[in-house]
């Protein structure tokens, strides 16, 4: 009871004052005109009751709006939790299995030493289609467009790793309205190679707390949050898949699992060559 009074007491006190003032204004306005006797009393009572009713209805309406807002927040929280569970327990294991299957298939049935040119062209075309879908999915599922212009807020880029030159070059990006770096400088390349592709690969995230800046984002581009994940199959280090967003709050932990899932799909596509 004491907690309820502490939380709601001031609110209902203001409501009481509002009702009293509303009734007072209505009664005074009636009392100030030229009406006499029982008619004046009746009008004063009616005006006071009407004013009180308006205050109460306004209060109830605000209460309904507040309840609707809270329900919307609760639904958003539940949806976020469901999304996290989907990425972590369903999509990520499935994509890992797909990557393992592609790796096993290429080891058991590799292409001939000199495959037909049309076969190579078809593989390249399908690989590009997979890459396009991966980039688009990363943008749509992390920081999707919002109105009124519905311009994509996130940006996803795939950097292909060249083990001979030990460099990273941009293979593709989406949506491309604010292009990322075309070629990663030596310092950034060393970071991506050692911190992301190193070992068996691990995700890297700019979350604004432990890490606040990335070589992947040139200053002044309007992005500050990053999730970068390795694209690896077997012993081959293919590259780094990175998604950027304007604000640190755009990303949640579940988005790391999402990007790992998309990287696994991309690794499977590059394994088939």
Chunked into runs of 10 residues, the chain (273 residues) has average pLDDT values of 49 50 49 54 57 62 64 55 66 83 81 81 89 91 76 88 90 79 80 87 82 61 86 90 88 89 92 76
Query: Shortest CA distance to 251 belongs to which of 222, 230, 224?
Result: 224
Phi first, then psi: give them for residue 268, nearest 5 degrees.
-60, -40
Q: What is the model's pLDDT at position 187? A: 82
Burial (CB count within 10 angstroms: exposed 0-12, middle 13-18, buried 19+), residue 73: exposed
Using the structure block, give the residue that is written with the tokens 């081959």.
Answer: 236
Q: What is the model's pLDDT at position 61? A: 61
Cα 201 to Cα 192: distance, rounded to the nearest angstrom: 10
Per-domain boundaries in the chain: 1-110, 113-271
Q: What is the model's pLDDT at position 14? A: 47
Q: What is the model's pLDDT at position 32? A: 46
Q: What is the model's pLDDT at position 81? A: 53
Upstream peptide bond of 108 is cis (omega within 30 degrees of 0)? no
* Cβ contact 18:55 at 8 Å: yes
* Cβ contact 165:180 at 8 Å: no
CATH number for 113-271 (one of 3.40.50.150, 3.30.470.10, 3.40.250.10, 3.30.450.40): it is: 3.30.450.40
Q: What is the model's pLDDT at position 223? A: 83
* Cβ contact 143:246 at 8 Å: yes
Q: What is the model's pLDDT at position 260? A: 93
Residue 234, by phi and psi: left (phi above 0), alpha (psi -120 to 50) or beta? left
Q: Is 26 helix (H, G, I), strand (E, B) or coil?
A: helix
């Amino acid at each position: 009871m004491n907690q309820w009074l502490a939380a709601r007491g001031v609110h209902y006190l203001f409501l009481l004052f509002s009702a009293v003032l509303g009734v007072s204004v209505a009664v005074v306005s009636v009392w100030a005109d030229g009406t006499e006797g029982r008619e004046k009393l009746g009008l004063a009572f009616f005006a006071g009751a009407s004013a009180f009713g308006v205050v109460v209805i306004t209060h109830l309406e605000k209460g309904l709006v507040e309840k609707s807002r809270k329900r919307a927040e609760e639904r958003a929280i539940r949806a976020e939790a469901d999304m996290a569970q989907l990425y972590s327990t369903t999509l990520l294991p499935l994509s890992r299995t797909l990557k393992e299957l592609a790796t096993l298939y290429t080891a058991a049935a590799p292409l001939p030493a000199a495959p037909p040119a049309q076969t190579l062209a078809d593989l390249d075309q399908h690989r590009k289609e997979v890459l396009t879908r991966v980039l688009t999915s990363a943008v749509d599922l992390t920081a999707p467009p919002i109105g009124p212009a519905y311009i994509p807020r996130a940006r996803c880029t795939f950097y292909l790793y060249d083990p001979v030159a030990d460099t990273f070059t941009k293979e593709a990006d989406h949506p491309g309205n604010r292009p990322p770096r075309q070629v990663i400088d030596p310092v950034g390349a060393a970071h991506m190679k050692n911190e992301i592709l190193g070992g068996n690969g691990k995700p890297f995230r700019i979350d604004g707390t432990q890490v606040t800046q990335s070589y992947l984002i040139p200053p002044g581009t309007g992005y500050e949050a990053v999730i970068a994940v390795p694209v690896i199959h077997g012993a081959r280090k293919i590259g780094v898949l990175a998604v950027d967003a304007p604000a640190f709050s755009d990303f949640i932990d579940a988005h790391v699992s999402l990007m790992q899932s998309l990287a696994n799909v991309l690794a499977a596509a590059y394994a088939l060559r």
